[in-house]
Structure 1
Amino acid sequence: MTPDLALDWRAPHETSVVQTLGPLRRGPGDPAFALGPDGSVWRTTSTDAGAATLRVRQLGPDLVRCEAWGPGAEAAIALAPSMLGERDDTSAFAPDLPVLADAHRRNPGLRVPRTARVMEALVPAILEQKVISLQAHASWRRLLQRFGAVAPGPTPRPMRVVPSASGWRAIPSWEWHRAGVDPRRAATVQRVAAYADRLEEAADLPPAEAIARLTHLPGVGIWTAAEVAQRALGDADAVSVGDYHIANYVGHALYGRDMTDDEMLQALAPWAGHRYRVIRLLMAAGVPGRPRRGPRMAFVDHRAY
């Protein structure tokens, strides 16, 4: 099917479509994200003009073709370069540890995306609070399949567009329950949806002001705000403090030992402005973290209550 709009974009630096857009996927069955058989990335979004589906293909190390379908096609195409890391400036990044320098050399196209769609990053981050990823991803899938609109365009599999703010607020309590979302997280989603317009404005604020606006609402802490900043705001410095695994991963990847959050921040201080980039590069390069032993976060089935 011919797209409603298309753009061939040459990035100002080498850009890997799959690595850059990968963090936008919420689990392998995400209804809003798919990988095509030709290696293209398909992603749905809800713009002010309406729903849109994007297909993004790698044509060369710095050349990308973006195609869009739906009433929001023009807005989605306009944001595509930003989503692919156009604003991601690595000129001041100095990977001066051998392990980090090697990770940077092996992943030259890894960029930090900026979707500029805050709610699309905030809701799944709230669903991921205090539960294992497998459980949060299952909740996200069920909610989108149940309440998301059918994606426009010739998607490689059935896809959905995330609900609008009013759509999130209209979901009844029993549907959150069936999706395995406890009342606290469900209430937080509906609370932030009531202030969606103000939260979307955070995409154009300086990072510190954007984080302050997000964390002003009850239920949105620094971890959740960082998860949003990494995807919607293009913040290469946003560290998910309070994460169940990140501090120990960074500690072992860089220095071979466990770390607290404070120790992790101290270890990452030499790369201020690029701390999230450091973590992404280490993970992309397959640098091992803490050996898998000891207690893990348990699966809690909230549908049982």
Structure 2
Amino acid sequence: MARVTTTVTRRLRPPDGYHFSATLRSLLVVRHDPCGRLADGEFWLSARTPDGPASLHLTRVGAELAATGHGPGAQWIVARADAIAGLRDELGDFPELAARHPLIARLARTFSGVRFPATGRLFHRLIRAVLEQKVTGIEAHRAYRAMVKHFGEPAPGPAGLLLPPDPAAVAATPYWTFHPFGVEQRRTQALLRCAVAATRLESCADSAEATRRLTAIPGIGAWTAAEVVRTTYGDPDAVSVGDFHIPNTVAWALAGEPRGTDARMLELLAPYAGHRGRVCELLAAGGIRAPKFGPRMPIRSFARF
């Protein structure tokens, strides 16, 4: 029996000054992501939707975006395309809050076209967040690519993407399978627990519920939850408490202090309640960094241990 190919297209109207690449970049692992692609004004993303596998293709057509979905989940992913493109992200009172600090005000103007995407699919982003715990980005991204290829199922559409790993398949995999990917037992066990709970996690109504359920899972803390809900729900208030760099960046940018704690970071971000994560993202986009002291974290390979 021939496989039925479903294709659905929709046109979207982004706001003036919308920044296509800077908005969508956070949804992909840098350099190469088997589940997506961003280049030359085109964006591809594969997903496991409630209706089945799908791929979304976003491209600029004049002042509009064309959103095309492929696969059994095409209708679902195209209906969500405006959220994935960050077009549901409302700045609200942020311009007034940003005006309280000259640096934040300048960054808010410079990056006014960058919005928070909201994919609506949690487990895919959770895989990345767990793999990013306590290691360098290079290590985490290498493990992510290896894991996606190991579970690799072709995604619908002509882009040659792979689907994100199926939670049921991940949950049924023994932990030692992940060792050659460069993932030690601690992160692997956290990932397996998340895979078992994936159906319940995907049903969360909002960022607050997802954060509560995520942080109830052993091995998942505030940092991991914030990294997930920021792009799953487009939560502009999600702050990655426990990050190695962000407290120092916030302390330096907002108070001229070269080092900061999580408590100090939250104190300085309090005036921006509702948009605290947006402030952190603006600092990152602007290349704001605290002065560096001491050696860099080494890049390791757990697969060789």
Tell me the TM-score normalised to structure 2 length.
Answer: 0.91
Of the candidates 20, 35, 42, which is equivalent to residue 23 of structure 2?
A: 20
Of the candidates 1, 4, 7, which is equivalent to residue 7 of structure 2?
A: 4
* Deviation, structure 1 residue 81: 1.0
* Deviation, structure 1 residue 12: 5.7
Q: Distance in 2 between matches of 1:183 and 1:105?
A: 44
Do the aligned partners of 2:25 and 2:38 also contact (CA within 8 Å) in 1? no
Q: Distance in 2 between matches of 1:256 and 1:56?
A: 40
Number of corresponding residues: 297
- Aligned CA-pair RMSD: 1.8
Q: Secondary structure at the match of 1:270?
A: helix
What is aligned with 1:272? 273
CA shift digits 1:122-145 (9 cap, x unpaired): 111011111111100000001111
Of the candidates 180, 184, 188, which is equivalent to residue 182 of structure 1?
A: 184
The one-letter code of the counterpart of 1:85 is G
* Deviation, structure 1 residue 300: 3.1
What is aligned with 1:74? 75
Q: Distance in 1 between matches of 2:249 and 2:270?
A: 16
* Deviation, structure 1 residue 3: 7.7
Change (3 A) 1:248 1:105: same
Q: Distance in 1 between matches of 2:81 and 2:297?
A: 36
Q: Distance in 2 between matches of 1:13 and 1:197?
A: 38
Q: Distance in 2 between matches of 1:281 and 1:301?
A: 32
What is aligned with 1:106? 110
The one-letter code of the counterpart of 1:241 is V
Q: Distance in 2 between matches of 1:75 and 1:147?
A: 23
Do the aligned partners of 1:16 and 1:58 also contact (CA within 8 Å) in 2? no
Q: Distance in 2 between matches of 1:47 and 1:14?
A: 30
Do the aligned partners of 1:113 and 1:231 also contact (CA within 8 Å) in 2? yes
* Deviation, structure 1 residue 296: 2.5
Do the aligned partners of 1:123 and 1:189 also contact (CA within 8 Å) in 2? yes
The one-letter code of the counterpart of 2:34 is P
* Deviation, structure 1 residue 189: 1.1
158-167 or 251-260: which moved more?
Answer: 251-260
Alignment of 1:7-86 (within 5 A): 7-11=10-14, 14-36=17-39, 38-59=40-61, 63-86=64-87
Matched, 1:122 2:126: yes
Alignment of 1:197-216 (within 5 A): 197-202=199-204, 204-205=205-206, 207-216=207-216
Change (3 A) 1:101 1:3: farther
Do the aligned partners of 1:45 and 1:51 also contact (CA within 8 Å) in 2? yes
Of the candidates 141, 147, 154, which is equivalent to residue 150 of structure 1?
A: 154
Change (3 A) 1:3 1:198: closer
The one-letter code of the counterpart of 2:129 is A
Unaligned runs of 5+ in 2: none
Q: Secondary structure at the match of 1:224?
A: helix
Of the candidates 193, 196, 202, which is equivalent to residue 194 of structure 1?
A: 196
* Deviation, structure 1 residue 275: 0.6
Q: Which runs of 4+ in 1 moved over 4 A?
A: none
Do the aligned partners of 1:144 and 1:160 also contact (CA within 8 Å) in 2? yes
Do the aligned partners of 2:179 and 2:303 also contact (CA within 8 Å) in 1? yes
Q: Distance in 1 between matches of 2:222 and 2:113?
A: 28
Unaligned runs of 5+ in 1: none
Q: Secondary structure at the match of 2:203?
A: helix
Q: Distance in 2 between matches of 1:154 and 1:45?
A: 14
Identity of aligned residues (%): 40
Do the aligned partners of 1:125 and 1:228 also contact (CA within 8 Å) in 2? yes
Q: Distance in 2 between matches of 1:17 and 1:152?
A: 23
Alignment of 1:147-296 (within 5 A): 147-155=151-159, 158-202=160-204, 204-205=205-206, 207-257=207-257, 258-286=259-287, 288-296=288-296
The one-letter code of the counterpart of 1:261 is D
192-201 or 291-300: which moved more?
Answer: 291-300
